[in-house]
Amino acid sequence: MKDQLELFYGYLFEPELLLEIERVGILKEIKQGEQLLEIGDTMSVMPLLLDGAIKILREDEKGDELLLYFIEQGDTCAMTFSCCIGNKKSEIRAIAETDTNLILIPIQYLDSWMANYKSWQKFVLESYHTRVVELLETVDTLAFMRMDERLLKHLQDKAKVIHNDVIQTTHQDIAYDLHTSRVVISRLLKKLEQEGKIRLQRNQIKLIAL
DNA sequence: ACATTAAGTGATT
DNA sequence: AATCACTTAATGT
């Protein structure tokens, strides 16, 4: 854990803080598809991503999902702060998009770190800021883009977080993420394939000209 | 060979 | 863009 911590966070945190993290942090590996957090859960730890990616979902009354954004290496779950501090329940669901390694920090340390470590304060504020920006981007996407554009963006985002142009997924899964029906996704994907932008196979989409 | 699951398609709203 | 109803194709047992 020490090596990874220094590799990914060494330039961000002062040495004393790194030691603290090392002391109290719990290293955890999460397999793809595993759920980290369910709506209504209370937070007891704050995650620091080492590698991998996590998708953050919202859910409507009917239990249908909508993807909000991905969390990647160097990110943390911004929701955690607002939840931990007020001891509130989670508004979102978190599922591992890929196999993911992360460090869990018990929330009782957050307050004192906030007060004692300038680098921590900065990190928290900045990741909060990037979360808001990403969320705004998601709102824009939802409000102003048509489904074909949203699909394209989603494929690009997905390829980015897994660092691979070949996405293993089903049309149905994409439909869930974008909160639409499988039929719509199938048709749009078909169109993209005809335009030569992607190649389709069962359970697999290969991005070409994106 | 058969069942299951993923993907494609026309028609309707 | 959503839904239905149905077909076709791929894959697992």
| A155-179 burial code (b ≥16 CB/10 A, e <16) | bebbbebbeeeebeeebeebbbbbb
> For residue A210, what pLDDT is reported?
64
pLDDT value of position A191: 93
Residue-level pLDDT at A188: 94
> Which among A93, A84, A99, A105 is positioned nearest to A55, based on CA atoms?
A93
Q: Which amino acid is at A204?
A: Q
pLDDT at A189: 94
What is the predicted pLDDT for the residue at A26?
Answer: 92
Q: Taking the mean position of all CA atoms in its chain, how far away is CA A135? A: 11
Can you give the distance from the CA of residue A178 to the C1' of nucleotide C3 in angstroms? Answer: 17
Rounded to whole angstroms, the Cα distance separating A4 from A12 reads 13
Comparing every residue's Cα with the C1' atom of nucleotide C4, the nearest one is: A183
Q: Say whether the CB atom of A171 is under 7 angstroms from strand B.
A: yes
A140: left (phi over 0), alpha (psi -120 to 50) or beta: alpha
* Predicted pLDDT at A73: 84
- Give pLDDT, residue A77: 78
Residue showing tokens 């007060």: A115
The tens digit of pLDDT for each residue in A71-108 reads: 988 888 777 777 777 778 888 899 999 999 999 999 88
CA angle, residues A11, A17, A21, in degrees to nearest 5: 100
Residue at minimal CA–C1' distance from C11?
A202
pTM of this prediction? Answer: 0.88
Nucleotides on strand B with an atom closer than 7 A to protein CB? 6-11
Number of Cβ atoms within 10 Å of the Cβ of A184:
16
According to the model, what pLDDT value does residue A176 have? 92
Contacts of A138 by beta carbon, 8 Å cutoff, 6+ apart: A68, A69
The amino acid sitting at A118 is K
Tokens of A18: 């790194």
Output the tens digit of pLDDT for each of chain A's 210 residues: 778 888 888 888 999 999 999 999 999 999 988 899 898 888 888 999 998 999 999 988 777 889 999 998 888 877 777 777 777 888 889 999 999 999 999 988 988 999 999 999 999 889 889 999 999 999 999 999 999 999 999 999 999 999 999 999 999 999 999 999 999 999 999 999 999 899 999 999 999 876
pLDDT at A107: 87
CA-to-C1' distance for A202 and B4, Å? 14
